Every structure is written in C-alpha cells, then in structure tokens.
C-alpha cells in the first residue's frame, strides 16, 4: 500500500464523499499534486461504483424465495407423479395376479376330483394372495418410507 505523502489526502477524500469543501482545502488541492491525483482516483472509483450499482440490479429477495419454493414444489410433484405411476403398475400387476388366482380357484371347483384334491390347499391360496397383496403394498410404499426417513436424517 502506498504511503500517504500529504497529510491532507484523507481530508480531500472525505470532502469528496461528504461534499463539504473548505476554502483552505480547495487552495491546497490546486497546489498539491498528490492530493489532486488522489481526488481524480477517488472520483473515478466513485463513478465506477455508481455504474456498477446501476448495471447490477439484483432481483427482489421475495421473488427469489417464491421461485425457489415453486421449484421445490414442482420437484416434489414430479417425484409423486413417478411414485403414483409405479403404484398404478403395481396395482395392475396385482389385479392380474389376483384374477389368475381367483380363476385358478374357480376352475378347480368346476372339477370335483380336482376340488377335493385342493380342499386343503384353499388356505394356502388365501395366504399366498394375502402375502402378494402385502408385498405389493409394501413395494408401493417403500419409496415414500425411504424418502421420509432420509429427510428425517437430514
């Protein structure tokens, strides 16, 4: 940093900022080369700061907050849409599986000899249907449970 060569340099810069010039300071400024250079440099820096302030007009903080909230909502909506699509697919798979299970049981009851052979297996079919339903529900809820546990860990 440059050493101050004249004790009035800081007075000149303060006068530039405040706009309060004394007669003695103006006379000194006309005679002192260091003070006049300091004044020109301070004026140039002040002008650049004014231009930068005009050119750099940041957006309103409220607008930034509202936009970030809207983007967060859109991201959450996309995630939920994907999750619901996956749930629809799992529901369709479950409907097909349940329909096949019911048709198999219905077809078995049409033939007495097959029905009598499967009489003890009816309970296993019901248990298998309940397990398939529970697995499908858990698979559909897994992304929600995982996401809520991750957000709770943060």
> Is 3's pLDDT higher than 70?
no
42-76: buried (b, 16+ CB within 10 Å) or exposed (e) per residue? beeeeeeeeeeeeeeeeeeeeeeeeeeeeeeeeee
Three-state DSSP string of 32-91: CHHHHHHHHHHHHHHHHHHHHHHHCCCCCHHHHHHHHHHHHHHHHHHHHHHHHHHHHHHH
Per-residue pLDDT tens over the stretch 103-154: 776 665 555 555 555 555 666 767 777 787 788 777 777 777 777 666 655 5
Q: What is the pTM of this model?
A: 0.39
Q: Residue 35: exposed, middle, or buried by beta-carbon count in 10 A (0-12, 13-18, 19+)? A: buried
Domain ranges of the chain: 9-55, 61-153
Q: Is the pLDDT of residue 13 over 90?
A: no
Question: Alpha-carbon distance 43 to 28, whole Å?
Answer: 17
């Amino acid at each position: 940093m440059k050493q101050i060569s004249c004790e009035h340099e800081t007075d000149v810069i303060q006068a530039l900022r405040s706009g309060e010039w004394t007669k003695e300071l103006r006379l000194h400024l006309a005679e002192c080369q260091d003070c006049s250079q300091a004044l020109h440099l301070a004026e140039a820096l002040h002008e650049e700061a004014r231009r930068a302030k005009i050119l750099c007009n940041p957006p309103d903080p409220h607008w930034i907050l509202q936009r970030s909230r809207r983007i967060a909502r859109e991201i959450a909506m996309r995630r939920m849409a994907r999750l619901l699509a996956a749930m629809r697919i799992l529901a369709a798979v479950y409907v097909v599986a349940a329909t096949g299970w019911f048709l198999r049981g219905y077809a078995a009851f049409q033939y007495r000899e097959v029905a009598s052979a499967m009489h003890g297996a009816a309970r296993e079919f019901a248990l298998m249907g309940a397990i398939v339903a529970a697995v499908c529900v858990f698979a559909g809820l897994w992304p929600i449970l995982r996401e809520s546990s991750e957000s709770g860990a943060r």
